[in-house]
Amino acid sequence: MRSGIAGLTFVCVLTLTLNSLIPASIRAEEDSAPKGANTRIDAEVEDTGPTHEIKQTVDKIIVQLRSIGSTPEWRDNVTALVRDKFNFEVMSQGVLGPYWHRVSDEERERFIELFALLLEETYIGRVREYTDEEIRFGNEQIREGRAMVDTYVAMESGDEIPISYKMLQRNDEWQVYDVVIEEVSLVRNYRSSYSSVLRKKDIGGLLEEMQGKIDELKKRQIKEDGNA
């Protein structure tokens, strides 16, 4: 299934943002990853299921992105839609790994909130940077309440970035709990990065670093909005 939308799209911006968070040295090792196969066309998309739900979210966010500069609420609306589709609690548990059971309930809640804010602020800060990319959806695999949806982002260079969304079913709804970019897991990458911080500074030090990064991103966004 090809989505040739002239303008910004949620999946493209978010996945390119997530791709930027993975070190270039790791991405370079995955350049030989196989490209897409068994792609769908619009007529073959089921009316229910994980691919359908991602596409629905994309359509809703496109409406908000088209209102940038004219509707002050677009930022809050986009954030709400992202939070509705991504399960940040499950993502956070995967990122913290064994440390999840070593921290207090309050520290877990704080980490979930900061992790969600970090991805959102990074995403919002880059939302104006990408236009006219194309996205196509490939295989959809479902097994025992979990699914993987393959997508491919076409770049201006002619290359494609393969991105897969790992999803789980909660209360008849499919939510994303990991994003695999060029065969590199976002959750696993963050776990590796944060584990080194936790060994040196414990959870308090990690939370402080995350808050500092979020504050930095917010200041940059305020400055960019002022120059817009």
Print the SS3 string covering the chain.
CEECCCCCCHHHHHHHHHHHCCCHHHHHCCCCCCCCCCCCCHHHCCCCCHHHHHHHHHHHHHHHHCCCCCCCCHHHHHHHHHHHHECHHHHHHHHHHHHHHCCCHHHHHHHHHHHHHHHHHHHHHHCCCCCCCEEEEEEEEEECCEEEEEEEEECCCCCEEEEEEEEEEECCEEEEEEEEECCEEHHHHHHHHHHHHHHHHHHHHHHHHHHHHHHHHHHHHHHHHHHC
> Which CATH code fits 2-208?
3.10.450.710
Give the pLDDT of the chain (228 residues) as one tens digit per residue.
444 332 334 444 555 455 444 443 333 333 333 333 333 333 344 667 999 998 888 778 777 777 766 667 878 888 888 889 999 999 999 999 999 999 999 999 999 999 999 988 877 666 555 545 677 888 999 999 999 999 888 877 888 889 899 999 998 899 999 999 888 999 999 999 999 999 999 999 999 999 999 999 888 877 776 665
pTM of the model: 0.76
